[in-house]
Structure 1
Amino acid sequence: MSRRLLSSLAVALLLPATALAEYEARAVIKALDRAVLSGELAARVERLPVRAGEAFAKGDPLVELDCALYKAQAEKVSAEVRAAKIKRDNARELRSFNSIGEVDVALAQSEYAQSLAELNIARLNTQRCTIKAPWDGRVVGVRVNAHENIRQQQELIEIVGDRQLEAEIVVPAGWLSWLETGQSLQLQVDGHDEAAVAQVSAIIPAIDAVSQTVLLRASLSQDTQLIPGMSATAVFNAPNAQ
């Protein structure tokens, strides 16, 4: 067999692989919901109901702080509200008998309104003593220990939602001639036999000037078993792939 014939056969065998590779790109699985929750109060950590890797539901307590001081403050302000209300009602009654003027009634009403505002603040602080989950998910890491004293805005726990996932895919800018939102694709996750079906949800309107690539976001179904951080190969069926 001549060298020219062998060369032609080699090129023919390589062409299908090259054509398929033109419509494959690397992807990373990410979660739409991910956050690091901080403490809004300076207090002592009383209890950590969940640990790293554990699951939780929306509304479950994630961090519980010692709230004795803030509850006592709320009770104190509540008593002040009751006293201010009595004073206001008494001022109104005295005004009906022309025993005091309108200014005295207005001052009593203002004192009562101020006490109510302080009570709302005190109750809000007691609610902040328990940090609850904003959505279903899992704990990525806990950055504090029980019985430690924390400061305001200190990072306490990192969580991630495992229900709403998406894939970020970097593709050549030349693919924009046939890519569009709503287009279906398959994600072959590294180390997994089964491919996940995804759909292009957004095309970032900016091309990297150096690599001439563009970023895509693809939505996944909620019943997927994928985990944020997984890498995958995205396979597109372009209109001109035939």
Structure 2
Amino acid sequence: MSVALVLRPWSLVLPLVALAGVAQVQAEMPAARREAPVRGVVRPVDQATLSSELGARVVELPLKEGEAFQRGDLLVAFDCRRQQAEHQAAEAAHREARIAYESQVYLQRNQAGSRFDIDVARARAEKARAEADALKVRLDQCTVVAPFRGRIAELGVHRHETPQAGRPFMTILDDSALEIELIVPSVWLRWLAVGATFSFLVDETGATYASHVIRIGAAVDPVSQTVKLIGRLDNPDDKVLAGMSGSAAFERGM
């Protein structure tokens, strides 16, 4: 008994149509597109440059460049004996002016003084109080304590030296919280948003770190058509230091 195999045209067409449909769906599925890497710089979240208006000699400098400190630790102390003496003199002048004012009040109560004399004495006492307070503020600058935990990044003074008034002598930074500053094409704002992820390859260590965008700049540079981004490393280690640079790679859906 022989069996004849009959091929109908539609039996071959249907598989081809199905395959074509799968190819069309795959073509329509969004694919990840890797953008050209952009350069970035690691920077600390907290950083401060210290200077002094005292013009006084350094008497304590417990830390050296690169050493770590905790919040509230002493960073530098100045010789403020002259400022202390000036403050004591100002306090004495205020007490004297206060006594003169109280004497004028007493005289007026006994019809021996005038309202004008009282007003003048009060003004002199208030002026003396303000001068003493101003000198107290200067005394508060005689010791500088750390406003946050971190490390000494730069140190431009030694013990027994007198830093120039107003000139920075120390830079401190918090190396426990680092950010990445990036400059990217402004056209990326079509798809880029806070929370977008990227990988950051650090030049100095050769390591790559998962990162994400935490802030987008408030303005676009109209000349370069770029915008600033601030990112954060998800799991940094102690090998990453402020000032290191690298390349950030972004991917976006098509």
Same topology, TM > 0.5: yes
Mapped pair 1:187 → 2:186: no
Q: CA deviation at 1:139?
A: 0.6
Q: Is the 8 A contact 1:55 1:137 kept in 2?
A: yes
Q: Is the 8 A contact 1:184 1:200 kept in 2?
A: no
Q: 1:98 to 1:126 in 2, by over 3 A?
A: same
Which of 138, 143, 147 is equivalent to 2:156? 143
Q: What is residue 246 of structure 2 aligned with on the other side? A: 232
Question: Matched residue of 2:253: which SS?
Answer: coil
The whole-number CA distance in structure 1 between the counterparts of 2:46 and 2:66 is 16
Question: Matched residue of 1:149: which SS?
Answer: coil
Residue deviations 1:36-63 (CA, integer Å, cap 9, x gap) = 2111111111121211001122332222
Q: CA deviation at 1:227?
A: 1.7
Q: 1:200 to 1:85 in 2, by over 3 A?
A: closer
Give the % identical residues. 31
Question: Matched residue of 2:57: which SS?
Answer: strand
Give runs of aligned pairs for residues 69-84 of structure 1, distance below 5 A.
Answer: 69-84=82-97
How many residues are paired up?
Answer: 221
The whole-number CA distance in structure 1 between the counterparts of 2:79 and 2:235 is 37
If the length of structure 1 is used for normalisation, what is the TM-score? 0.80
**Of 112-121 and 86-95, the range deviating more from structure 2:** 86-95
Q: 1:78 to 1:20 in 2, by over 3 A?
A: same
Mapped pair 1:126 → 2:139: yes
Structure 2: gaps spanning 5 or more residues: 1-31
Q: Is the 8 A contact 1:61 1:133 kept in 2?
A: yes
If the length of structure 2 is used for normalisation, what is the TM-score? 0.77
Q: CA deviation at 1:32?
A: 2.7
The whole-number CA distance in structure 1 between the counterparts of 2:226 and 2:85 is 59
Mapped pair 1:114 → 2:118: no
Q: CA deviation at 1:224?
A: 5.4
Q: What is residue 156 of structure 1 aligned with on the other side? A: 169
Q: CA deviation at 1:90?
A: 1.7
* Rg comparison, structure with higher value: 2
**Of 66-75 and 179-188, the range deviating more from structure 2:** 179-188
Mapped pair 1:61 → 2:74: yes
